[in-house]
């Protein structure tokens, strides 16, 4: 996603050693993500940056609640998120080497931007299916869903059958 300037850290002026930063994810972040799951929320991002002459080690810790919709009843759901991610930058200027966790920075680089990694961390911390805790779905929808489940009982979801088979084999 597009880099937001508030997530830029100018490291060139920092002394070697540990530094801490904190961000709050603003509405612009959710808008820029263009991700239907990310409508908003109360999220803080703690960043610990360890600088040495050759490396920047960045630890991102995301914590808070996302404002989602429940996958079961479609009602509003404040979903707790706690995610961590590490990103390492090499300051040696060898651009050809790059993988997911280790990025080589150009020797002229003086800042890094974390928007992409914050988004990645948030996505990884968010389960595919997010629902209310048992019994806390919208009661009206719950009633309809329960009725449907009873009616559908003779033909269960084939995926559950596969899981059941696996479970039977393990026993």
Residues in touch with Zn ion (CB under 5 A): 70, 72-73, 75, 132, 137
Contact in structure between 70 and 137 (CB atoms under 8 Å) = yes
Based on CB atoms, which residue is closest to Zn ion, 55 or 141?
141
Look at phi and psi of residue 17 and say left if phi exceeds 0, alpha if psi is from -120 to 50, else beta.
left
Residue with nearest beta carbon to Zn ion: 70
Based on CB atoms, which residue is closest to Zn ion, 4 or 73?
73
Cβ at position 152, least distance to Zn ion in Å: 18
Cβ at position 141, least distance to Zn ion in Å: 7
Based on CB atoms, which residue is closest to Zn ion, 101 or 149?
149
Based on CB atoms, which residue is closest to Zn ion, 17 or 135?
135
Cβ at position 142, least distance to Zn ion in Å: 8
Cβ at position 131, least distance to Zn ion in Å: 5
């Amino acid at each position: 996603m597009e880099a937001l300037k508030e997530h830029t850290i100018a490291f060139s002026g920092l002394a070697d050693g540990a530094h801490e930063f904190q961000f709050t994810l603003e509405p612009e972040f959710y808008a820029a993500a263009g991700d239907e799951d990310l409508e908003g929320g109360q999220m803080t991002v703690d960043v610990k940056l360890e600088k040495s002459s050759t490396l920047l080690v960045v630890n991102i810790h995301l914590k808070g609640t996302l404002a989602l919709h429940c996958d079961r009843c479609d009602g509003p759901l404040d979903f707790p998120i706690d995610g961590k991610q590490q990103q390492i930058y090499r300051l040696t200027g060898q651009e050809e080497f790059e993988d997911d966790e280790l990025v080589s920075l150009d020797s002229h680089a003086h800042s890094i931007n974390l928007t992409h990694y914050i988004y990645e961390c948030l996505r990884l911390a968010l389960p595919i299916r997010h629902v209310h805790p048992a019994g806390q779905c919208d009661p009206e929808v719950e009633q309809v869903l329960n009725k449907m489940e009873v009616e559908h009982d003779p033909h269960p979801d084939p995926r559950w059958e596969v899981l059941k088979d696996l479970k039977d084999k393990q026993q």
